[in-house]
Amino acid sequence: MSNKRKYVLVIMLLPWLTVPFIGKKAIKRFSLTSIFIGLLFGLQAVYANKRGWWRVYTQLFPNVMGEVPFIIGPFFVGAIWILKFTFGKFLRYTLINLGVDTFHIYVFVKWLQRMGIASLIRLKDYQALALFSLNSAIMYGFQWLIDQKVNPKKPSSLIKRVFS
């Protein structure tokens, strides 16, 4: 196994070591949203590959998109962590996601590019950041809809709910 594939394997498996610390309640509450946003990102990856937005050069599994290890690793687990600590506090959620997405685009992707694992091609950094921010908004909205169905309670004040 090449060093690049080892890096991708570590990137995929390392977040799963944190799962025992999340807690069963948070996993049960947020895993559906995490799966949904992972599937959405997978569809975006198919489209992005056709349009040449980005390219993952190192595939961990044959005949599987190179993005899959990133989706089932840091993307899935990271979404649960972010939702656990920020859901219900929209401003905090937005700021944390903006920070994580900015780190991902401007630091992590640059490292992947230097390693020859992946790179942005036709998508500029700010466009990728906008796409990830849109995904974050969709993820929050999806979780909000799930919570409304499972635990329908009216907030005392919409402003309090959004900015608390």
pLDDT, one tens digit per residue, over 23-60 is 999 999 999 999 999 999 999 999 999 999 999 999 98
Would you tell me how many other CB atoms lie within 10 Å of the CB of residue 78?
Answer: 16
pTM of the model: 0.86
CA quadruple 90, 96, 98, 101: dihedral positive or negative?
Answer: negative
Alpha-carbon gap, residue 46 to 27, rounded angstroms: 27
pLDDT band at 136 (very low <50, low <70, confident <90, very high): very high
Would you tell me how many other CB atoms lie within 10 Å of the CB of residue 103?
Answer: 11
Q: Are 9 and 111 in contact (CB under 8 A)?
A: no
Helix, coil or strand: residue 23? coil
pLDDT, one tens digit per residue, over 77-107 is 999 999 999 999 999 999 999 999 999 999 9
Q: How far is CA 71 from CA 47, 79, 92, in A?
A: 15, 10, 23
pLDDT at 1 over 90: no
Q: How far is CA 7 from CA 39, 44, 59, in A?
A: 23, 23, 11
pLDDT at 129 over 80: yes
Alpha-carbon gap, residue 127 to 123, rounded angstroms: 6
pLDDT, one tens digit per residue, over 7-28 is 999 999 999 999 999 999 999 9
Q: Are 57 and 118 in contact (CB under 8 A)?
A: yes
Domain locations along the chain:
3-163
pLDDT of residue 152: 65
Quote the mean pLDDT of the chain.
92
Q: How far is CA 2 from CA 6, 69, 75, 116, 161, in A?
A: 6, 16, 23, 12, 49
pLDDT of residue 82: 97
pLDDT band at 161 (very low <50, low <70, confident <90, very high): low
Name 26's Cβ contacts closer than 8 Å, sequence gap at least 6: 80, 83, 84
Give ∠ CA 63-64-65 in degrees, rounded to 5: 125
